[in-house]
Amino acid sequence: MAMRTASPWWASLAFASGLLFLLLGERFFGHLSGARFVLTGLGLFLIVGITATRAWTMLGSAGARRRVERTLLVCNAGTVFALILYLLSTDWGVAKLGLVDPAATQFRGAMTVVFLVVLVASIVPLVMVELSLGVALRGRFDVQSGPGNEEAGVEYFRVREIGWSGLSVGLALAFLMVTCQVASERNVARDVSYFKTSSPGESTQKIVETSSDPVRVLLFFPDVNEVKEQVKRYFESLASRFPQKLIVEEHDRLTAAELSGKYKVTKDGTVVFVRGTGDKEKSQIMDIDTDVTKFKLSTSKLRNLDREVNAVLLRLMRDKRKAYLVIGHGELNDPDSVPAEMRNADRSTTVLKKRLADLNYEMKNLGLMDLSKDVPEDATMVLLLGPSVPLQAGEWASLNRYLDRGGRLLVALDPRGDTSMGPLEGRFAFRMYPGNLTDEEKFMPRLRQLQDRRTVLSNQFSSHASTTSLSRGGAERPLILNDAGALEDMPYTGKSSAAPKKTITIRSMESSFLDRNNNYAFDAAGEIPEKKQRWNLAAAVEGPKVGDKEGYRALLFADVDLFSDLFGRDQLGRKIAIMYSDYAGTLLDDSVKWLGGEEAIVGEVVSEDDKPIQHTKNADAVWFTLMIIGAPILVLTLGLIGTWARRRRGSKKTEVTP
């Protein structure tokens, strides 16, 4: 039933409009001073004006009508008081009170909570009282203070009870908000699921530590989001180690609209990395899906968050470099140029190219037309990955001149292809032994056949910078070598003053041998005697300094498949790809960083990615047989047993007694 009150129904609507204008001005247009001034000013005018009008209608009424107006006035005044508390929580209010961190942060948080509690406890009763009063007979001001108008058209008891109910609901909502806030602050997480966000790795920590300027990390996420908590925990862990080097800030994309516009933040889940100030400021952006239903999937960035952050920091710290990959000789990265008679299993370098991109390298091909002239001046390094046919003399000469300039070269050879290094053999004092590395004890049983002995395992690593992650993996994380060869020491053929420094970085196990007759078995007394020993599988070569200029650097590997894609399936059966060398550590990352002179940031990059499950041929056959034949037989057997049991129970004779 509608009631006739002194104030019209649209007064509360105008009051609500004032709150809306205030919200728009402070939250959505806070970065535009003109729009903020207009919207906030209009909102305050409506709020204060309606509150003053309520006071006038209350004073001009009597009896029950006056008590109703007083109830509405209390709700309006409570809202005004809440806005005063909000004003104290702003930067202006904190500055006027003379507070500084950490007291300012604590005060701002406390005032925000109290402001919201008072606001909710004022607005909810106002809404419920207005709904109970209705709109009929309340289209205009009706201030009547004369006799006989004290009780006209109002039921104060009903209004009072509705108001108390609204206050109860408002306080309950406020209590829930406070409870959620306390739960969030006091939350203790115990993650017992398989999913885990990667933690800051050693390489990422070194990048932050060696940065000359502090790095600001701006997190643009919704206030309540589980993905945000995972990302925030990662950066807080990193910042706790280097508080002067890494500063983590949380921002609301809408409230901090000016900041969002500056760094082109258009959606939640954006992380902005900022280094430097003024004209020297550089920034990089990383996007993370905030959907809580997806963040535990194997494709989620959180599993490889450390690698993603590592890549962004590298782009932030230095300019993009160029890595030239030699092509045209049947290399691992150029399978189309492999002669038809030498093609075997398909090989690819998808993961290698992605890693180089993550390390802030631009990849370019270096074919015969260019390499026969010279290596480009902008080359940070050159990669020669398992040529199947020999390089031309002019190409080797170009690589030799490139090393004279202090170049960086990675050579990975394949015993199934061309193993010559031309004139570089004398310069490096290394060449490839004939034969394939084989092991009858330390190998990975993939097909349960003799060929498996060519998939050799080794955990013999030096403490060189290019094998940092491998050496820390220990015996539990062996390196997988697929059809590898071995490096042989040979005399240095150049000037004695230019003799290089050689370091063996990877060796085989003592049980390994070079299979010379291709029978996958050790023949100590064969036509070509074979020998078990620790064979050299990889080496680092450093040339002497030329004046003030650093000498060349080269890495030699006797197995190109270390950098080839290895496909498998994760625990859920999904196809994934890694490199052969990834089982033991980040060999490619460490190698590229050492070649590029960035050994100061060499270290492990943490990943929680699923490792592919390798199924043997026999195991697949067994599982196929069990699923196709075993499962139906099991169902049929259970059905026959059930039928036999029912018939046996039905055939039993029962004696009837009177």
Q: What angle do CA 88, 91, 92 make, to 5 degrees?
A: 65
Query: What pLDDT is attached to residue 174?
Result: 74
Question: Phi, psi (5° rounding) for residue 218?
Answer: -100, 120
Neighbour-count burial of 609, counting CB atoms closer than 10 A to its CB (0-12 exposed, 13-18 middle, 19+ buried): middle
Regarding whether 353 and 418 lie in a shared domain, the answer is yes
Q: Which residue has the tokens 């950490």?
A: 102
Regarding whether 277 and 172 lie in a shared domain, the answer is no
How would you classify the pairing of strands 381-385 and 321-326?
A: parallel
Closest CA to 518 of 589, 435, 579: 435
**Residue 24 covered by a domain:** yes
Distance of CA 639 to the CA centre of its chain: 51
Cα–Cα distances in angstroms (integers) from residue 97 to residues 26, 305, 337, in the given order: 21, 41, 74
Regarding whether 121 and 75 lie in a shared domain, the answer is yes
In the chain, the number of structural domains is 3
**Residue 175 covered by a domain:** yes
Cα–Cα distances in angstroms (integers) from residue 144 to residues 65, 141, 160, 548, in the given order: 9, 9, 21, 98
Query: What pLDDT is attached to residue 194?
Result: 45
Regarding whether 455 and 593 lie in a shared domain, the answer is yes
Regarding whether 218 and 176 lie in a shared domain, the answer is no
Neighbour-count burial of 548, counting CB atoms closer than 10 A to its CB (0-12 exposed, 13-18 middle, 19+ buried): exposed
Regarding whether 407 and 491 lie in a shared domain, the answer is yes
**Residue 443 covered by a domain:** yes
Regarding whether 16 and 57 lie in a shared domain, the answer is yes
Distance from C-alpha of 374 to C-alpha of 400, rounded to nearest angstrom: 10
Q: Out of 301, 330, 353, pick the residue that ends a domain.
A: 301
**Residue 437 covered by a domain:** yes
Instruction: Residue 432: give its domain's CATH number.
Output: 3.40.50.880
Regarding whether 358 and 220 lie in a shared domain, the answer is no
**Residue 192 covered by a domain:** no
Distance from C-alpha of 648 to C-alpha of 325, rounded to nearest angstrom: 77
Regarding whether 416 and 272 lie in a shared domain, the answer is no
Q: Is 260 left (phi over 0), alpha (psi -120 to 50) or beta?
A: alpha
Regarding whether 297 and 329 lie in a shared domain, the answer is no
Regarding whether 366 and 443 lie in a shared domain, the answer is yes
540 contact partners, CB below 8 Å, separation of at least 6:
464, 466, 502, 503, 505, 553, 554, 555, 556, 594
Instruction: Residue 232: give its domain's CATH number.
Output: 3.40.30.10
**Residue 218 covered by a domain:** yes
Q: Up-side HSE of residue 7: CA atoms within 13 Å toward CB? A: 29
Q: Out of 118, 151, 185, pick the residue that ends a domain.
A: 185
Q: Out of 301, 330, 346, pick the residue that ends a domain.
A: 301
3-state secondary structure (DSSP) of residue 473: helix
**Residue 655 covered by a domain:** no
442 contact partners, CB below 8 Å, separation of at least 6:
456, 457, 458, 478, 509, 511, 512
Range of the domain at 403: 319-618
Regarding whether 446 and 575 lie in a shared domain, the answer is yes
**Residue 233 covered by a domain:** yes
Q: Which positions of the chain have pLDDT values less than 70?
A: 1-4, 30-31, 144-154, 156, 181, 184-198, 292, 295-299, 344-346, 474, 569-574, 584, 607-626, 650-658
Distance from C-alpha of 437 to C-alpha of 466, rounded to nearest angstrom: 22
